[in-house]
Amino acid sequence: MGARLAQKEKDEAAVDMTPMLDIVFIMLIFFIVTATFVKQSGLEVIRPPAETAEDQRRVSILIAVGDGGEVWMDNKEVDVRSVRAGVEKLLAENPLGSVVIQADTKSKSGILMQVMDQVRQAGAPGTAIATEKD
Amino acid sequence: MTARRHKAGQDEAEVDMTPMLDIVFIMLIFFIVTATFVNERGLDVTRPDSEDPPPTKAVTILVSISAAGVISMEGRDIDVRAVRANVERLIAENPDSSVVVQSHPLSESHLMVGVMDQARLAGAAGVSIAELN
Looking at CA atoms only, how far is residue B63 from chain A in angstroms?
15
The rounded distance, in Å, linking the Cα atoms of B101 and B123 is 15
The residue of chain B nearest to residue A109, with distances taken between CA atoms, is: B109
Q: What percent of chain B has pLDDT over 70?
A: 81
Residue-level pLDDT at A65 = 92
Contact A25 B39 (CB under 8 A): no
Cβ neighbors of A78 (< 8 A, separation 6 or more) are A71, A72, A86
What residues of A are in contact with residue B32 (Cβ under 8 Å)?
27, 31
**How high is the pLDDT of residue B55?**
52
Inter-chain residue contact A107 with B109, CB threshold 8 Å = yes
Is residue B50 predicted with pLDDT exceeding 50? no
User: Which of A46-50, B46-50, B100-104, B109-113 shows the lowest mean pLDDT across its residues?
Assistant: B46-50
B20 interfacial to chain A (CB closer than 8 Å): no
Q: Give ∠ CA A77-A78-A82 in degrees, rounded to 5.
A: 165
H/E element holding B112? helix B109-121
Pairwise CA distance, residues A47 & B20, whole Å? 46
- Higher pLDDT: B63 or B13? It is B63
Query: Which of B37, B43, B104 is nearest residue A131 as measured by Cβ atoms?
Result: B43
Give the pLDDT confidence score for residue B7 in this predicted structure. Answer: 53
Hey, are the CB atoms on A127 and B117 less than 8 Å from each other? no
* pLDDT at res. A79: 93
> Judged by CB atoms within 8 Å, which residues 48-87 of A form the interface with B?
48-56, 59, 62, 65
Q: Which range is least confidently modeled, A56-60, A68-72, B34-38, B54-58?
A: B54-58
Taking the Cβ of residue B3 and every Cβ of chain A, the question of whether any pair is shorter than 8 Å is answered with yes
pLDDT of residue A86: 92
Q: What angle do CA B57, B127, A80 make, to 5 degrees?
A: 135
Q: Which of B28, B37, B40 sits opposite A28 (nearest CB)?
A: B28
The answer, yes or no, to whether ipTM is higher than 0.85 is: no
pLDDT of B77 reads 92
Residue of A nearest to B28 (CA): A28
Residues of chain A with pLDDT under 70: 1-12
A25 and B24 within 8 Å at the Cβ level: the answer is yes
Q: What is the pLDDT of residues B74-105, one digit of tens each?
A: 888 999 888 999 999 988 888 888 888 899 98
| Cα A26 to Cα B28: distance, rounded to the nearest angstrom | 10
| A39 in reach of chain B (CB within 8 A) | no
Report pLDDT for A82. 92
